[in-house]
Structure 1
Amino acid sequence: MTSWLPDGCPHIPFGAGSSAAGDPLGKIFDQTASPAEVAKQMQAAVLNAKG
């Protein structure tokens, strides 16, 4: 699953992209977004960090 990650990948699980991918989780806890919406936001952050 992580075969596309380059060696020393800076965004998962640490680095600038990690907060962009993790921040949407708060929306589940405060019930401002559905799990499906949060998953889309997290995936978008990962794809953006991937470049």
Structure 2
Amino acid sequence: MVRTARDSGRTLLGTIDDILDFSKIEAGRMQIEVVPMSVAEVAEGVC
């Protein structure tokens, strides 16, 4: 039960961080940097 609460809290915190990042981008307070990346490497890291 404690593990579920901890995991849920982490998920909620991640969601809030994402929302705040989008707000900063929309307000022009965060710059987006375009960098080359490998989709295959990202996919391997997820699976």
TM-score category, normalised to shorter length: 0.3 to 0.5
Structure 1 length-normalised TM = 0.35
Q: Which has the higher helix share?
A: 2
Structure 2 length-normalised TM = 0.37
Q: Which has the higher contact order (CA 8 A, sep 6+)?
A: 1
Task: Decide which structure has the larger Cα Rg and report it.
Answer: 2
